[in-house]
Amino acid sequence: MNAYVGTPTSRVDGRAKVTGAAKYAGEFAADLLLHGFVVAATIPRGRIARLDTSKALKVKGVVDVLTHAHRPPLAEQDEAWKDEVAPEQGSPFRPLYDNSVKFNGQPIALVVAEDWETAKFAATRIRVEYEEEAFATDLESERTKAAKVDQPHKPRGDASAALTRAAVHHEADYVIPSEHHNPMELYATTAVWDGNGKLTVYDKTQGVQNVQKFLCSVFGRKPNEIRVISPYVGGAFGSGLRPQHQVVLATLGALALKRSVRVVLTRHQMYGLGYRPMTIEHVALGANRDGTLEAVMHEAIAVTSRFENFSRNDTGWGEQLYKSPNSRLSHKLVHLDVATPCDMRAPGAASGVCALECAMDELAVALKLDPIELRLRCYSDRDQSEDLPYTSKQLRACYARGAEAFGWSRRAPGPRSMRDGKELVGWGMATGVWEALQMPVAVRIVLTANGHAEVSCAASDIGTGTYTIVAQVAADALGLPIENISVRLADSSLPQAPVEGGSWMAASSAHAVLGAAEEIRQELVRRVKAMPASPLGGVDAPDIILVDGTVTKAGDRSRAVSIADIMRHSKLERIEKEKLNQFEEEKSYARNTHSAVFAEVKVDEQLGVIRVTRVVSAVAAGRILNTKTGRSQVMGSVVWGIGMALHEETLMDHRFGRIMNANIAEYHIPVNADVHDIDVIFVDEPDDRINRLGVKGLGEIGIVGVPAAIANAVYHATGKRIRRFPITLDKLLD
């Protein structure tokens, strides 16, 4: 019975959020709470020669100033600092560990005071002297130092030779700047001192158990001594996958002072966290005159810090998507004196597919082929890199449905061939692709005699709607109205879940709910059958379902017993079941989501002002659990894609190695005026191989392809190919 799954169910936490009842990490109260303010380094590399805290300590209300020279012990081994998302290679950054400065904005002291303003004021009284060291922060000037980190996939054939032979070829660099997440909620932690060395840590994070394990290992604590809770997250987008500075610092403060401590980063300080790394994406495509591909080459050169190798799959998408006998990929890193980058919506793909899909557009122009037609000529029903079939792939339908909704057939092919008064009109499109991952997640369901169920799991809801889909799936599986389901998430003491990321949480948590609900059903079946003169006596267990608060024979509602009656009869107050999800790990299929994105831009011919007037995104992502939250997720991603195309750029002055637009007045993201019609189409994609519900996840797919579709539309409007993002109007002048 699907009363809820697949419907546009409103967020179950919506009311709490709009009324302010939902509490965020920085809002939890504690007795005698202290406030920490972070002092950040102002050089990119060197040593702290002197850190004079005496004046700060004299400020009335200041309790202590923690520094590398004055703090409780911290773990010494790199392994202890490696959280579940840390890059394999490298030595994670450790706040207040020693006197070295590894990047600008690195925390170097924590002023702890009775109130926040005092801490903030006292922070200005701290004097720091550095021994500065030579540094480098500019990817482009250090490009030649790029070192190969991994080969995403084995080369296929001989791509260079094929490229030289190809009748038509296109080759270019696309430059994507570093970008910061800028979630609305500031990074915050309230570490509550429970006494006897025990802490309850309210943290803004995408993974409470990840943070809990991390804190235990960094501070040498037993698992029962630290509990991490993060009921609501005001956006994170990947920046909260790894434990961030403030949670280490708040915990450090609480342990040092044996009092509760809250640390909230400022917006400016959040630019000292991770970010989408700047990349130079070199793409080369060789094609035959008929539009079939002979060679795909993609090399990404990306920024990472000096101390960790962060890299993602930027380059693997083209050779997976498009049929080509030859391909070669490589990913290189340049180590710079900057913070380690981190995941940001569709990490790797957002950048890599942007370059790939711009290159495909350029190839289509060279071949005089319609951009969709080119993609259809290289369409592959198998995953090219692994030579596997997909569990499902309705990308063809995405092209068709998207094109139809957009009106693509009315597009005049030549650049500068469509206009609307003083504006040039451009229509562009691009393909999007992402993975459909699923991870081990456990869920506990407690069914009580009053027909109410509590569903709990350590997974986070970072605003994406996990509370809601968990409630929907549970309501359907237990045959209860959604009002009777309460969901508890994001407490490290709840059943296991990995960080919320990678678009895996919907499928993973939904199937854990199904598993636990099935155990509940079996228990109820056992109980109902044990009842004297049970109306379900003789009915096979698999034919018994849960519906409308009853246990019923499928297809015969006259043979039903209410859950309340069963519980009463069995003298049970509650039935509690916990279950780890199980997926058949079929290595013989590729699992991906796809999309086709269509964009219309209008560009003022004289002034270069760009307006994205329409976007159609047709997404194939298996079954959509909730068409309302799903649509919101994709719309938000499209807005972000507009930003990636036109606005977003973290600006660094490489003479100082400092980010110069570390605030959301100067770091531009789209505002309402930049966002017009966005049409989201979910293409039917039945998938009975991937998992029981046929769910793939929608977290990231919505952004992939959007920047390229817009860039391609700008080219179609103006005849100018901008390969350096963001596309600001100065690039269109001349």
Q: Which residues of this protein are in contact with another protein, per CB under 8 A?
A: 42, 117, 120-121, 124, 266, 268, 422-423, 602, 604, 606-609, 611, 646-647, 651, 653, 655-656, 658, 660-661, 663, 665-666, 668, 670-674, 728-730, 733-734
CA distance 56 to 105: 20
Instruction: Give me the least distance between CB of 668 and another protein, in Å please.
Output: 5
Instruction: Give me the least distance between CB of 104 and another protein, in Å please.
Output: 8
Contacts of 199 (CB under 8 A, 6+ apart): 191, 192, 193, 221, 225, 226, 227, 251, 254, 255
Instruction: Give me the least distance between CB of 657 and another protein, in Å please.
Output: 10
CB environment 127-141: b (16+ within 10 A), e (fewer): ebebeeeebbbbbee
Residue 602, token pair as written in the block = 């209008």
Instruction: Give me the least distance between CB of 118 and another protein, in Å please.
Output: 9
Q: What is the DSSP string of 101-168?
A: E-STT-EEEEEEESSHHHHHHHHTT-EEEEEE------TTTTGGG-EEEE-SS--BS-HHHHHHH-SE
Q: What is the DSSP letter of 473?
A: H
Rg of the chain in Å (alpha carbons): 27
CA distance 40 to 101: 10
Q: Compare residues 314 and 337 and give the one whose CB is closer to another protein.
A: 337
Instruction: Give me the least distance between CB of 335 and another protein, in Å please.
Output: 23
Q: Compare residues 124 and 522 and give the one whose CB is closer to another protein.
A: 124
Contact of 659 with 271, CB cutoff 8 Å: yes
Q: Compare residues 259 and 602 and give the one whose CB is closer to another protein.
A: 602
Contact of 308 with 337, CB cutoff 8 Å: no
Contact of 706 with 645, CB cutoff 8 Å: yes
Distances, alpha carbon 80 to alpha carbons 75, 214, 228, 246, in Å:
6, 7, 18, 17
Closest to 129 (Cα-Cα) out of 96, 94, 93, 99:
99
CB environment 512-543: b (16+ within 10 A), e (fewer): bbbbbbebbbebbbebbeeeeebbbeebeeee
Residue 499 one-letter amino acid: V
Q: Compare residues 121 and 583 and give the one whose CB is closer to another protein.
A: 121
CA distance 536 to 690: 33
Beta bridge partners of 598: 429, 616
Q: Compare residues 167 and 607 and give the one whose CB is closer to another protein.
A: 607
Closest to 601 (Cα-Cα) out of 411, 319, 440:
411
> How many angstroms from the chain centroid is the CA of residue 707?
17
CA distance 641 to 620: 18
Q: Compare residues 290 and 666 and give the one whose CB is closer to another protein.
A: 666
Residue 408, token pair as written in the block = 């693509």
CB environment 645-658: b (16+ within 10 A), e (fewer): bbbbbbebebeebb
Instruction: Give me the least distance between CB of 730 and another protein, in Å please.
Output: 4
Q: Compare residues 333 and 659 and give the one whose CB is closer to another protein.
A: 659
Residue 16, token pair as written in the block = 């709490």
CA distance 466 to 500: 9
Instruction: Give me the least distance between CB of 585 and another protein, in Å please.
Output: 46
Active site residues: 700
Contact of 126 with 76, CB cutoff 8 Å: no
Instruction: Give me the least distance between CB of 665 and another protein, in Å please.
Output: 8
CA distance 189 to 193: 12
Q: Compare residues 429 and 646 and give the one whose CB is closer to another protein.
A: 646
CA distance 469 to 473: 6
List strands edge to edge, sheet with 147-150: 147-150, 326-336, 293-305, 279-287, 168-176
Q: Compare residues 76 and 132 and give the one whose CB is closer to another protein.
A: 132
Closest to 170 (Cα-Cα) out of 315, 357, 330, 378:
357
Instruction: Give me the least distance between CB of 113 and another protein, in Å please.
Output: 12
Instruction: Give me the least distance between CB of 609 and another protein, in Å please.
Output: 6
Q: Compare residues 39 and 159 and give the one whose CB is closer to another protein.
A: 39
CA distance 490 to 13: 14
Q: Compare residues 423 and 600 and give the one whose CB is closer to another protein.
A: 423
CA distance 354 to 599: 14
Instruction: Give me the least distance between CB of 208 and another protein, in Å please.
Output: 31
